[in-house]
Amino acid sequence: MHKKHIEDFIVLLNEKLNEDTFLLLLKHPHKLPEINAGQFAEVLVEDSPLTFLRRPLSIHDVDYKNNTLSLLIKKLGKGTKKLSELKPDNFLNLIFPLGNSFTLLNNEKVLLTGGGCGIAPLLYLSRKLNEKGCDVHILLAAKTASDIVRLKTYENYGKLYFTTEDNSLGEKGLIIQHSLFKNLSVFKKIYTCGPERMMQAVARLAANNEIPCEVSLENTMACGIGACLCCVTETKTGNKCVCVDGPVFNTKDLKW
Amino acid sequence: MVDLNVNIGHLKLQNPVMTASGTFGYGLEFDDFIDVNLLGGIIVKGTTLEPREGNAYPRMAETPMGMLNAVGLQNKGIDHFITDIYPKIQKYTTQLIVNVSGSNIEDYLTVVEKLNELDRIPAIELNISCPNVKSGGMAFGTSCSSAAEITKAVRSTYKKTLIVKLSPNVTNITEIAKTVEAEGADAVSLINTLLGMAVSIKTRKPLLSTVTGGLSGPCVKPIALRMVWQVFNAVKIPIIGLGGIMNANDALEFILCGATAIQVGTANFIDPRISIKIIEGIKEYLQSNKINSISEFRGSLILK
Ligand SMILES: Cc1cc2nc3c(=O)[nH]c(=O)nc-3n(C[C@H](O)[C@H](O)[C@H](O)COP(=O)(O)OP(=O)(O)OC[C@H]3O[C@@H](n4cnc5c(N)ncnc54)[C@H](O)[C@@H]3O)c2cc1C
Ligand SMILES: Cc1cc2nc3c(=O)[nH]c(=O)nc-3n(C[C@H](O)[C@H](O)[C@H](O)COP(=O)(O)O)c2cc1C
Ligand code: FES
């Protein structure tokens, strides 16, 4: 496991992507340590009396050359709202990199699916898989087209598909209604993150087609480093901490 | 140099700063952030006779200036501690204290007897105050008779330093403190979490699977401080103060009110380096106020 760090990053950019999603580009003051796809950071929200605990956020992308990483954040409540107000040159304290990571394949056809802020960890993952020669297919789901952000960036690393509930982009309906799911067996692995019900539906179809499926869970956390045992999920071998044994799990191990 | 040494029973601490049970894992989780050996001691996770899976998720809810937890003493049991954890934490030179829990006196005694055999565990902290388990736990700590019974039973077999951790969920904490003192406890630690609750009007559901849970963090500090002060005026044995300590200032307040040592709990989640910063802060305060030793400062609250 990588050494964990605690560091004040400098905000380089806070880009509003739509009504409630924004991207933070953060610069590490020194050399950025190695980060794997699927890992996350515990972010300190300062000057925010009602948010006492850090907020867990996936690492969206990493740039070792410039020592930057980015976070893709959806405004949900008080903490994420406060983070959306950050300005360039502000500091942001992160504990990172935390958790395990997605298992990567070489030269295989893979499907990445996500919805909501669940798409955050998929970018770095798609890049890593792309580097490993995989044929990467990315299916993003949303209520409406304007919910889908960072399109152009995802496009660099794989073939994109969409579902929207209002038929404004891609196919109409929910994620598992997409035609890709009619012929799942062409994929060697499925990676998914997003709302739990969506992930469960994807996992069920993957299991029916006997395709390994990895999910990234978003349980609420207190410490993020395995010390408090607050973030557990039930697995076939007992309660496991999402922050150290996850956030990535093979769905066959979960009690879903 | 200021003298930070303190004694708790037979236990000698190089400084008064320890880490609280359930908030610091086994210390190993913090190796990437701090030199754990700089601490006065660490209190490891609540340990029971049999393995426990704990309560169902969700077990945590954030509250203003604090959090509720309902972990429910998830741990792999004392035998796993002895075979798997103990060998790993023996590398530490700081004092290692095990927090012991159980649902009946026999279970407590079996765990304590096993811990008695471990050379590197010079003390135990008897948890008679966990609000998150159905039987035992807090039930032992909320009546004088059961607190007396369990302390007496453990004292009769355990010869090393015995710390009893008290529950704040009582009408009069000094009565319980006096009782465990009379039954031979070497020290008391206080407070464990306060029984609390959080709900959502959106879903009309409780935020914890157990409905109620234990409140910790800075929101409990005034209560913890009051209890430490009351107990300081009621017993002669050393007091280990905790509850909402976030910085050196908070720690010094507890010591000013009579605590011999302190524990850092929930604050470890916000800043994993905080325990070490607190030691530094205490040192700086004593130096700049020309106080030679921490024991000189202890309980020196000026009332008039
Ligand atoms: C490993 C991990 C990675 C994550 N990655 C990302 C990411 O890349 N981008 C992103 O936008 N979000 C991510 N999340 C979710 C993010 O942590 C929460 O949205 C955030 O903590 C909410 O904080 P807040 O103060 O804005 O909301 P709060 O004010 O705390 O809560 C607002 C409402 O949201 C609910 N809520 C809060 N946290 C969660 C949660 N984790 N799951 C379900 N409901 C919740 C609360 O119950 C409440 O109803 C991740 C979570 C985890 C555990
Ligand atoms: C997640 C969590 C787990 C805890 N587990 C234990 C435990 O196993 N045994 C125990 O005696 N106290 C336990 N406690 C209580 C703490 O040790 C401490 O008494 C309490 O949190 C108050 O201190 P604080 O406000 O500094 O956290 C736990 C607290 C938290 C937040
Ligand atoms: S959040 Fe504390 S153990 Fe996972």
Q: What is the pLDDT of residue A48?
A: 84
Axis crossing angle, helix B173-182 with helix B144-157, rounded to the nearest 10: 30
Q: What is the pLDDT of residue B116?
A: 96
- Comparing alpha-carbon positions, the chain A residue that sits nearest to B244 is A52
User: Is B231 at the interface with chain A, CB within 8 A?
Assistant: no
Q: What values do phi and psi take at B117, rounded to 5?
A: -80, -15
pLDDT (mean) for A185-196 = 95
Q: B-contacting residues of A 81-100, CB under 8 Å?
A: 95
pLDDT digits (tens, 9 = 90+) for B149-164: 999 999 999 999 999 9
Q: Which contacts (CB < 8 Å, 24+ apart) does range A140-143 have?
A: A140/A113, A140/A114, A140/A115, A141/A113, A141/A114, A141/A115, A141/A174, A141/A175, A141/A178, A141/A194, A141/A198, A142/A115, A142/A116, A142/A169
Give buried/exposed letters for B25-35 (b at 16+ CB in 10 A, else e).
bbbbbbeebbe
Q: What is the pLDDT of residue A256?
A: 86
**What are the start-end ranges of the E strands in A116-228?**
135-142, 159-164, 171-172, 189-193, 213-216
Q: What domains does chain B contain, in order, with CATH numbers? A: 6-54+73-194+215-297 (3.20.20.70)
**Residue numbers of B annotated as active site:** 130
Chain B residues touching A234 at Cβ < 8 A: 56-57
pLDDT digits (tens, 9 = 90+) for B68-88: 999 999 999 999 999 999 999
User: Is B270 at the interface with chain A, CB within 8 A?
Assistant: yes
Q: What is the pLDDT of residue B139?
A: 72
Looking at chain B, the whole-number percentage of residues with pLDDT higher than 90 is 92
Report the largest interatomic distance among the alpha carbons of chain B, rounded to a whole angstrom. Answer: 57
- Quote the tokens at residue B235: 């017993």
pLDDT at A88 over 70: yes
- Quote the tokens at residue A166: 């209002």
Q: Min CA distance, B265 vs chain A (Å)? A: 10
Q: Contact A73/A218 with Cβ under 8 angstroms?
A: no
User: Is B69 at the interface with chain A, CB within 8 A?
Assistant: yes
Of B33, B59, B67, Cβ closest to residue A53: B67
pLDDT at B135 over 80: no
| ipTM, interface predicted TM-score of the complex | 0.94
Q: Min CA distance, A194 vs chain B (Å)? A: 18
- Quote the tokens at residue B166: 């008290």
Cα–Cα distances in angstroms (integers) from residue B69 to residues A17, B126, B193, in the given order: 35, 19, 9
Range of weakest confidence among A17-21, B17-21, B244-248, B294-298: A17-21
Model confidence band, residue B132 (pLDDT cutoffs 50, 70, 90): low
Model confidence band, residue A117 (pLDDT cutoffs 50, 70, 90): confident
Q: What is the pLDDT of residue B143?
A: 85
Q: Min CA distance, B235 vs chain A (Å)? A: 32
CA angle B235, B236, B237 (to 5 degrees): 100
Q: A-contacting residues of B 30-59, CB under 8 Å?
A: 30, 32-33, 53-54, 56-59
Q: Enter the pTM of the model.
A: 0.96
Q: Contact A162/A184 with Cβ under 8 angstroms?
A: no
CA angle A77, A79, A85 (to 5 degrees): 105
